[in-house]
Amino acid sequence: MMSSIGPLPLTVAWVLAGWLVAIGVARWLRPPPQPGQPTAGALLLDMLLLGLLGGRLGFVLLHWRHYLADPWALLRMGDGGFLPLLALLVGAAWALWRLRRWPALRRPVWAGSMAGVVVWAVLSFGVAYLQQSRVALPELTLRTLQGQPVALADGGGRPVVINLWASWCGPCRREMPLFAAAQQREPGVHFVFVNQGESVEDVQQFLGSQRLSLNNVLLDADSMTSERLQVHAYPTTLFFDSGGRLQGLHMGELSAAGLQARLDTLR
């Protein structure tokens, strides 16, 4: 299951792909240069950066309580906290204001913008559809810390959140308290914490040292879950609805706001 291109998350890759297409279209349609006139590419870059800033700020304001409790999470852009529609509106509003002085740039800028948005949307929703159609809850039976067998796919008719983690993984350790709080706060969601490749002694020692109270901690000494889901980095969290359909995938550390936003989509 592909969630990144090397170190680059797919969401970022699709934004960059859309922007490059927008630049290409704008250059193809560029008007003759005029004194003092900016380039269409410069305007598109400003639209992109201001749009991303607006989309991030909108998400932060929507989940301000979580960020108030952990202000440093504002800087963790990898949590995926972003409002795409607001980003598009901010970029378009800025372009409307900026292009009032440069009517010759309107055609290349708007054509490039539309082309870039279409490419971003097709890639984003296309890959999400492919992942949803290919990835299902693995039919695996794992063991609890007490040695009891548990079917991984048995969510009891509830949405299922699977977190793949290891005690040696720094981001895994940092996000565990957030998951512990979410598990207490969201009884309608079945959280499963699948440890990858460690012994029961290692896992128990970690949970005890961190004073973590987690239910549904499962052992996967052979990392079969990662193999079935084609996950190659930790932490990775998968969000399935009550019908077992993949609704979201996040590779890397989640903030409290980022986690809650994904849980809200499962309601």
Residue given tokens 């490749």 in the structure block:
197
pTM: 0.84
The CA distance from 31 to 34, in Å, is 9
Structure tokens at 49: 């950066």
AA identity, residue 242:
S
The CA distance from 1 to 229, in Å, is 6
Structural domains in the chain, sorted by start = 4-134 (no CATH), 141-264 (3.40.30.10)
CA proximity to 72, closest of 238, 253, 260, 249: 253
The one-digit pLDDT tens for each residue of the chain (267 residues) are: 444 444 446 777 889 999 999 999 999 998 888 888 899 999 999 999 999 999 999 999 999 888 888 888 887 777 778 899 999 999 999 999 999 999 999 999 999 999 999 999 999 899 888 888 788 888 899 999 999 999 988 888 899 999 999 999 999 999 999 999 999 999 999 999 999 999 999 999 999 898 888 999 999 999 999 988 888 889 999 999 988 889 888 888 899 999 999 999 887
Asked if 143 and 218 count as a contact pair (C-beta separation under 8 A), the reply is yes
CA proximity to 204, closest of 131, 249, 154, 146: 146
Residue given tokens 């740039």 in the structure block:
105
Question: Is the alpha carbon torsion for 241, 247, 252, 253 positive or negative?
Answer: negative
AA identity, residue 125:
F
What ranges in 135-238 are assigned the alpha helix state H? 170-185, 200-210, 224-229
